[in-house]
Structure 1
C-alpha cells in the first residue's frame, strides 16, 4: 500500500540537498531534510551518481535511530516508575511529564508522530516519518542498477539490507508507541490526489506482518557479525541484529496488549475496519519463540556470550567480580554480550546524572546523582537466595526499615560498621551491582586501596553528607542511586571533578534474547527444561542457583516454577531485574498490560532530608502516579494531525 511520509502536515515544495559529510555512526541528524519528492529531480540524482555521495545518504537514514543513551531521548527511561528525578531542577524532561500523568493530545509530550516536542520546536532525531521518507528515497535509487556505477553488487546488496532494516525498525518504533499506524511503503508524489495523501491507520496484524516481511528481506542481504570490521563498522546492522529485532517485534505482537486485547475493540479505522484483532492467538507465541531461538543461534554462532569480567592485577573478591560482570555487561564497550550498540548515542551524560559524589571535592555538577530508583524497585530484586523478598522462607523482610550494622562478612556490599536499612541486607548480587544507597560500597578503577578491601569508596547519602540531598538542583529523591550505568573506569580527581569513559548505548544484549526465548516458550508450551536453562544461564552469571533449585530450597511457594502462570511471574520479574535501568521496564509493563497495576501506586523513597539513620530511614511518598486504562497504553496522535487528515482516527481516550 502506498503511503506518504509527509501526511501529517501541509506539503511543501522544497528541497535541501544533503551535503554534510557525516562520520559513520558518530553523525548527527542533518539540520535540514527532504520534505517531499523534489521538483528538481536532477538535483536529487546527484546524491546517487557516485558511491561516496550515496554513502552520505545511507548515513542520513541511520541518523534517525533514537538516542536511547540519553535520558532525555530514551522514551522508556523516565516515562514510567523505574527512575524518578527532581522535578524541573537538574534537567527538564518531557518523558517525566508523562510519568507524572501530564500527557495531552494537543502538543503531546515526546511527539514522535510529527517530531514537534513540547519542549519547543521540532526535534529532527525523532521525525521518524521523515526518516522513513529518506529510507524510501534511498531504496528507490540504490535498487536501480543504472545508478551509482562505482558501487559493486556486494556492497549495494548490503546497503539495501541495512536500509530495509532501518525502515522496518522505524515502523516497529512507531507501532510500539501508537499502536496501529499507516504503513509507509512508498513515497507519494507531490501531485497525488488528496485521497492518496490522507492515508489511514492499518490494523496491528497487518503492520506486524509488513515489518516482519521487511526484516526477512533485509536478513537475506545483511552480513554476519563476525565479518563486521571492528572500530570501522561497529554499530552497522548485521544479520543477528535484524534477527533480534524480528524476535522483539513478534514477542510484542504475542503479548497481551496486542494479542486478544478486547479493550481495544472500539478502535475502528475510518473505513470501518477493526484496528486490533481481539481474538487471542497462541501461535503468535510460537512464532516469537522460533524467532528468539534463531537470533540466539545466530549470536552464539558469531561468538556472542554473556560477559564475564576478566581477571586483572587488582586483587578482587569473587563477590566484586560477580558484580563487575553484571555492571560491565552494559558499560564495557563492544563486549561479547552486546548484540547491538548504537554509537550514535554515547552514554556520557547519563553517567554524570547517575553518579553520586563520593568525597568532599567531588563536584555535584560532575556527579549529579539525580537518577533515583524508588523503593518499589529496590524491593523488586531477589534475596541472596534468588527468590522474591516476600517469598523467602528463611529471611524476614517484614520490618524493612529496621537498622542494622554491616559486619566484616558484608564488607564487599556495605561498608563495614555502617548502619543501613534491613532492606539493603541479604540481597542478590544484582541488587548491589545495579543500586547504591547510604553505606553502599561503590567499587571502581581508582579505589583508594586498589582493591575491594580496606579503604574503598562508599556512598554517604544522609542530608549534609557528600551524596546527600543538600544541593539546590542536583538531588537524589529516593535514597537509591543507579550504579549499573556508570562504567567502572570512572575517575574522581583529587582536585575535584570526574572523568567518565563513554560507551555506545547497548540496544540489545544477549541476556535479553535468552529472556525473550524463555518467555515465549513458556507461553507457547509451558514450563520445560529449555525454559529453565535459558533463565539459569543468566542467573548463574548473577551468582544465583537455578530457578527450580532456588524455589525448592528457599521459597514459600516451591511449586511456582512448575506451572505456566507461576513461571510467567518468575520470568517477568527476572526480566525486570536483569534489564533494570536500560529503558525496558516501561515497554514491558505496557505489552503485558500491567501498567495500570504498577503505575497507579505511589512513588516512595527514604526520607532523604534525614540527618541521622533513624530520621533518614523512614518511607515517604514522593508522588502518587496515575495511569488511565486503556488510554495511557498508547500515545495520542497530535490533534493537528487529526485535523489535517480526516482519515486518521484518534487512540482511545484521547
Structure 2
C-alpha cells in the first residue's frame, strides 16, 4: 500500500558534502532551526546527477547518516538504558546516558535525531534523519529519470535506487522506533508549496509500518545477493538479505505489545481526531513477522550465512575456551559468516578501549579505560551452567551471591585457580564467562605467554588497589563487571607507547538475532512447537548449552515452562537478552515488550569498588536509582521548537 505524499514542517539549509566510498562518510550540516525536505542548491543537485561518479558520491552520502552504533556515544541502546553504566562525566560525556539518568527533556531533547542536535557528538556527527530522507527522495527521483546519469548501466541504476529505498525505509524505521507515529516523508514538496502542504500531521503507526515494509519490498527486488558483492570493494553495501532482515525486525516491532493493541496510547490522536495507535490487538501481526523472519533466514542460508564457530588455531585451547571464543568472536571477527549486516560507517576502536581493563600494573589506564560497567542485574541475568536462570536451578543455589569461594583446578578456564571471588561468578553458562570480566575472571587473548589457556594466562584483578581497580581519577569501572564480549581477542599487547585494538565494523544484524526473532514471532503466533525449539536450540548449542526442553526438564524447578506460550515467551525474552547482551538490543526490546517500566525503575547496583580486600569489595552498593515514567518514557518527545512551528503536530503523551 502506498500513502499520500508527506513532508515534514520546517526548513533546514543543508550543504551536501559528497564523498568517496570509504563508507566512513561525513555529512556537513548547517545549524538553522528549520526542518523540511524542500530541495535547495538546485544547481548542485543538477550537477550531482550529470555523471555516474558524482551520483555515486551522492549515494554514499546517504549511507553516511547510518548511526555509528559501534560507539557508545552514538548507540542509543548502549547507554540510555540499564545494561551498561559509566562514571558520570569523567572519561566521556554521553547525551544518551542523560536519558538513563532520567534527564530527558522536550527542549533540545537528548539524542534528538528529529532535528539533528544533541545526538552525542560534535559538528558533523549529528543525525538529522528528516534531512537525509529529503536527500533519499532527491536521489530516487533523479535516478528514476533516465535522462540523468547517462553513463550508468541500467542494472547498476536499479541497484542504486534499491539502496536508496532501503536507506529511506531504515531511517523511517529508526524514527518510528524512537518517536512512535511520525510523518511519512514520501516525496519532496515543491519549493513554492502552500503552507497547508508543509504543516503536516503524524501518520498512524500501522500506516508507517506498511509504508516502510513497502519500501523494503521494493528495495529487495533491486538489491544483489550477498554472494554477488565484490568483497574487496563492496563490503558493507546493502543486499537482499539485509533488506529482508530489517523487514522482519520492523514487523516484529509492529507485532509487539508497545505497538500492537497498546491501550496506553489510545488517547494519542491528531488534531482532526485520527487515532495514531490501533488499540485492537492483532495476532496476525506475529504471523507476518514470523513469515518475514523465515524468509530472511532462508536468504541468509542460501548466501552461506551460519552461526560463527571459532576455527582451529595453533594454540592449545580447551573446549571451554573454544566455546567462549565462538561467542566473543561472533561479534568481533571481521566480516565473519554470521554477520548479516556490518556497518562500516561505525568502527569500534574506542569502544574496545572503553571496555578493556588493565590486566597488570604496567597497563596504562588511558589505553584500557574499563569504564563500561554492567550492573549486577545483568550478571544475574545469565543462566547457570545448566542452562536455566539462577533462581530456577534445582541443583545449584545462589542465595548468598557474595559468598566467597576459591577457584579449583576444574574451574581454571573461567576463574584464576586459587583466586577468591563471589559465589555469583561460579557455575555459570559459557556466555557469562565469554561476555563478562570480573575480579578473578580469566580474560583470554592471543598473547598469553603459554600460547594456551593453561598456566600463565591473563585474568582480571578488580579491587581498589589492583590493576583494574577504581583508583584512576577518570577511567573507573563502577560495578566490578567489565564487558569482555566486545573486545577482539586479537587486541594487541600493551607497549610503553600505548595499546592498539583490532578494529571491526559494527554488526548491526547477526544470524543469531534472526533465529531468535523467528522463534519469538512463531511462539506468539502458534505457541510452542518443534520449530520454535529448533531455532532457540541452535543459538543455545553454539553457546555450549543443552536444548530448552531438556534443560528445563532436568534442571528447573518449573520443568514444564517451555511447554506453554507464556512460559516459552519468558524463556525467549531472556534468551535474547543474554545472546545479544551489550549489542544495544536490550534497550529497544524492553520497550517493545512493555517491560521497561519494570526493569528501568530498579536500582543500578554493583560491588563496592572502593573495597581493598575480599570482605570490603564484595559488598553490594547502589550506584544509581533509575526512574522510568510510563507511558511517557516509552517514546522520545517531539522537540518543543517543532511543536511551536507546526500546530498540526501533536506531542507524545506525558511530555
1:550-587 deviations in Å (ceiling 9; x for gaps): 00000000000000000000000000000000000000
- Quote how far apart the aligned CAs of 1:80 are: 0.5
User: Aligned partners of 1:30, 1:332: CA distance in 2, in Å?
Assistant: 32
Deviation of the 1:123 alpha carbon: 5.5
2:213 maps to 1:198: no
What is residue 318 of structure 2 aligned with on the other side? 317
| CA displacement at 1:181 relative to structure 2 | 0.1
Post-superposition Cα deviations, 1:241-260, rounded to whole Å, max 9, x if no partner, equal: 00000000000000000000
Query: What residue number does 2:381 align with?
Result: 380
**Paired residues of 2:102 and 2:627 also in contact (CA < 8 A):** yes
Distance verdict in 2 for CA 1:15–1:613, change over 3 Å: closer
Aligned 8 A contact 1:22 1:28 in 2: no
Q: Measured at CA, do residues 37 and 629 of structure 1 come closer, stay the same or move farther in structure 2, by a change above 3 Å?
A: closer
Look up the match of 1:401. Answer: 402
1:609 equivalenced with 2:607 (yes/no) = no
Partner Cα distance (1:352, 1:76) in 2: 19
User: CA 1:415/1:124 → structure 2, altered by over 3 Å: closer, same or farther?
Assistant: closer
Cα deviation 1:441-473 (Å, max 9, x = unaligned)? 000011121110000000000001100000000
Q: What displacement does 1:191 show?
A: 1.2
Contact 2:359 2:467 in 1 (8 A): yes
Counterpart CA distance in 2 for 1:58 and 1:48 is 10
User: Given that residues 116 and 122 in structure 1 are in contact (C-alpha distance below 8 angstroms), is that contact kept between their aligned partners in structure 2?
Assistant: no
C-alpha distance in structure 2 between counterparts of 1:416 and 1:152, whole Å: 64
Please tell me whether residue 150 in structure 1 is matched to residue 135 in structure 2: no
- Indicate conservation of the 8 Å contact 1:361/1:497, yes or no: no
- Say if 2:118 and 2:126, in contact at 8 Å, map to a contact too: no
- Aligned counterpart, 2:93: 92
Matches within 5 A, 1:351-500: 351-495=352-496, 497-500=498-501
- 1:266 alignment partner in structure 2: 267
Alpha-carbon distance, 1:190 to partner: 1.8
Task: Note closer, same or farther for the CA distance 1:362–1:178 as it changes in structure 2 (3 Å cut).
Answer: same
Give the match's secondary structure for 1:499: coil
Q: Which residue of 1 aligns with 2:649?
A: 648
Residue in 1 aligned with 2:349? 348
Aligned residue in 2 for 1:138: 139
User: Aligned partners of 2:122 and 2:358: how far apart in 1?
Assistant: 35
1:585 equivalent in structure 2: 586
2:20 is equivalent to residue 2 of structure 1: no
Per-residue deviation, residues 4-55 of structure 1 (Å, max 9, x unmatched) = 25x2x4x36x674x46432331222235699764566344211101000100
What residue number does 2:292 align with?
291
How has the CA–CA distance of structure 1 residues 496 and 301 changed in structure 2, closer, same or farther, with 3 Å as cutoff?
A: same
Label 1:554 to 1:496 Cα distance change in 2 as closer, same or farther (>3 A).
farther
Q: Unmatched 5+ residue regions in structure 1?
A: none
Contact 1:372–1:481 (CA<8 Å) still a contact in 2? yes
- In structure 2, the partner of 1:30 is 28
Task: Decide whether the 8 Å contact of 1:80 with 1:599 is kept in 2.
Answer: yes
Matched, 1:510 2:511: yes
For the residue of structure 1 that corresponds to 2:216, the secondary structure is helix
Per mean C-alpha deviation after superposition, the further-off stretch among 55-64 and 585-594 is 55-64
Name the CA distance, whole Å, in 1 between partners of 2:37 and 2:177: 26
Summarize the alignment of residues 3-82 of structure 1 with structure 2, pairs less than 5 Å apart: 3-5=6-8, 7=9, 9=10, 11=11, 16=15, 18=16, 20-31=18-29, 37-38=38-39, 41-82=42-83
CA distance in 2, matches of 1:15, 1:582: 32
TM norm structure 1: 0.97
| Alpha carbons 1:101, 1:625 under 8 Å: kept | yes
What SS does structure 2 have at the residue aligned with 1:345? coil
Structure 2: unaligned runs, 5 residues or longer: none
